[in-house]
């Protein structure tokens, strides 16, 4: 009888130890999964990333772009329409992927203009006038024209912009964005993600469908 009690007691102790071990294993797994999820979210959005929108529905649209990219300039009209219609629901996040000869110069201009609160005005200028200074289809390579276009932006201090363009933090932003793009498998621009899901087709319908799926789910 005593041996039977000892066996039962041992089995009970083993069972309790199993339950405790399982609990801690699951807790550790959850912690690891949360850490992985957090790390992956950082690949999409960094603290320094430029953001637009009220994001009331917690929908993040991340665009890896290059200001010198002709396709980015063309597709920017679709992104503008999306923002105009859903700016209350979404947040658009701009990330860089400097794939062209003058990409760094344009990113420096953008980040320096951001200091003066003129980021969106400068990005819009670069895209709307893209065919004049950087049309790859027409072999146009005239980044010097950007300085004249910048002068047309009301309230933009060009001399201050030139100074701020030399901020070494801009190089760090470019490098980090490229590292994140590589980690996410992004090689070309524009590449967009909606709440972590990559847009597979560069069309208005595809982008709106993906965003609206998140809004109305």
Which of 204, 198, 175 has the alpha carbon at shortest distance from 63? 198
d(CA 142, CA 130): 10
**pLDDT per position in the chain (217 positions), as tens?**
555 554 445 545 444 544 544 444 334 433 333 333 346 889 999 999 999 999 999 999 999 999 999 999 999 999 999 999 999 999 999 999 999 999 999 999 999 999 999 999 999 999 999 999 999 888 999 999 999 999 999 999 999 999 999 999 999 999 999 999 999 999 999 999 999 999 999 999 999 999 999 999 8
d(CA 151, CA 42): 36
The confidence score (pLDDT) of residue 7 equals 46
The confidence score (pLDDT) of residue 138 equals 83
Neighbours of 49 (CB within 10 A): 17
β-bridge pairing 197-198 and 50-52: unpaired
- Three-state SS at 118: coil
Which of 63, 62, 55, 66 has the alpha carbon at shortest distance from 41? 62
Length of the chain counted residue by residue: 217
Helices (H) and strands (E) in the chain, counts: 9, 5
The confidence score (pLDDT) of residue 37 equals 39
Neighbours of 200 (CB within 10 A): 9
């Amino acid at each position: 009888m005593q041996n039977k009690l000892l066996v039962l007691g041992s089995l009970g102790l083993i069972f309790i130890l199993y339950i405790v071990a399982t609990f801690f294993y699951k807790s550790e797994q959850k912690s690891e999964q949360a850490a992985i999820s957090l790390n992956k979210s950082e690949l999409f959005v960094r603290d320094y990333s430029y953001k637009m929108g009220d994001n009331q529905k917690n929908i993040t649209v991340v665009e890896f772009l290059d200001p010198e990219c002709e396709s980015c300039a063309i597709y920017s009209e679709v992104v503008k329409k999306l923002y105009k219609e859903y700016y209350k629901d979404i947040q658009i996040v701009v990330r860089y992927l400097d794939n062209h000869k003058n990409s760094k110069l344009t990113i420096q201009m953008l980040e320096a203009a951001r200091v003066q609160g003129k980021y969106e005005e400068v990005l819009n200028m670069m895209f709307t006038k893209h065919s004049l200074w950087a049309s790859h289809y027409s072999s146009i390579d005239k980044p010097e024209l950007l300085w004249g276009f910048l002068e047309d932006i009301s309230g933009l201090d060009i001399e201050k912009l030139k100074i701020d363009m030399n901020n070494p933090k801009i190089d760090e932003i470019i490098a980090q964005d490229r590292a994140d793009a590589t980690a996410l498998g992004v090689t070309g621009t524009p590449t967009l993600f909606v709440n972590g899901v990559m847009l597979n087709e560069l069309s208005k319908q595809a982008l709106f469908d993906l965003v609206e799926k998140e809004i109305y789910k």
